[in-house]
Amino acid sequence: MRKKRISSRDVAREAGVSQATVSYVLNNVTSVKIRPETRQAVLDAVEKLNYHPSHIARGMKSSRSMSVGVITDRSVTNYNFMKTLEGIKDGLSQYNYSITLLFNKSDDSFNTEILDYYNTNRLDGIIFAFATVDDTSREELDRNGVPYVIVDSHASGSGLHEVGTDHLRHLTDLAALFKEKGVVRLAYTGPLWKNRTDPRLEAFEQAIRANGLHHCGCFLCPFQDDQIREMVKKMLDSPERPDGILAGSPRYGFYVLKAAAEKGLKVPGDLLAASLGTSAFHSLCHPGMTAVELPLYDMGRSGAVLLVDIMNDRPAQDVILLPSEIVIRESL
């Protein structure tokens, strides 16, 4: 668990003053009279809590750029990212912010170009949208006073300033649906991440236990077609073949349907399947794929509004988890 980042709200509580007073003191606002003892109480609280507000870092910049950096690991052809970006754009535009789109060029979760953009007046804040951000990267951003928000369907829910989905809730509901349809042995297949653990795996195991289903294993592999194909075949060839499969993304779900057809397994019938994630092809494939559809637009818009609050040092939620929708189709 990461150490909670100190906010102006914490300083205000420690000093026994309002957040507005903290802002007046730290920004040296002369139009508002602050008693010397109150000013000292705020400064003492700042020192005691080791508070490094993002607006102090911005104070070294000549002016705001009114531009927010959106960083992603995905391509512009990725549906999830583009739908999320639409929400980000609409959320920022109401505050007159524009977007600077940056692509993460490597497997590393952090690169110094981010700080370069921020420190040279080109960005006022950053939204990581479907981008890898580990604890080390967050600490680097915090240390440099960079306002940021993480928008990701795989958000851990244990960090700060994250917008994501409630994995445990929708996976528990989905496992219950599998059980209702007669599934006894449920397996999971999905991407293997390099720099972090997929938080959905723990949620999947909890959902299995809550519904009294038999856990047939988590079959993980890199997000590459040939490896997904082999992994799904291995899962269906296992001695304890599952009668229900949950796919961690639409692509894995499509390979489940393909492999089942090649083995002569009927879906539904011999096998039931569902997928996590949003895809226009879920309703077009045969059989149609039951899926947890993500609130991508709302995630993006919520992330944008959250970042604006942080940049203006207003009270902000640590974590926003939005509900997803289970769309039932023929595969389940």
Q: Are residues 302 and 155 in contact, defined by beta-carbon separation less than 8 angstroms?
A: no
Q: Are residues 118 and 144 in contact, defined by beta-carbon separation less than 8 angstroms?
A: yes
Q: H/E element holding 255?
A: helix 250-262
Closest residue by Cα to residue 126 from 110, 51, 135: 110
Task: Name which residue leads in pLDDT, 327 or 6.
Answer: 327
269-308 pLDDT, tens digit each:
999 999 998 888 888 899 999 999 999 999 999 999 999 9
Domains of the chain, earliest start first: 8-51 (1.10.260.40), 67-165+297-322 (3.40.50.2300), 167-293 (3.40.50.2300)
Closest residue by Cα to residue 125 from 296, 294, 316: 316
Mean pLDDT over each residue of the chain, to the nearest integer: 83
215-265 pLDDT, tens digit each:
988 898 888 889 999 999 999 998 889 999 999 889 999 999 999 999 999
What is the mean predicted confidence (pLDDT) over 312-326? 85
154-199 pLDDT, tens digit each:
665 556 788 988 888 889 999 999 999 999 999 999 888 765 677 7
Helix and strand counts by DSSP (H, E) for the chain: 12, 12
CA atoms within 13 A on the CB side of 266: 3
Q: Are residues 127 and 149 in contact, defined by beta-carbon separation less than 8 angstroms?
A: yes
15-70 pLDDT, tens digit each:
988 776 777 787 666 656 778 888 889 889 888 888 866 544 444 444 677 889 89
Q: Mapping DSSP to helix (H, G, I), strand (E, B) and coil, where does residue 56 land?
A: helix
Q: Does the structure show a pLDDT above 50 at 149? A: yes
The model's pTM: 0.73
192-209 pLDDT, tens digit each:
876 567 778 888 899 999
With 0-12 / 13-18 / 19 or more C-beta atoms within 10 angstroms meaning exposed / middle / buried, residue 67 is: middle
Residues 6+ apart with CB under 8 A from 89: 99, 300, 304
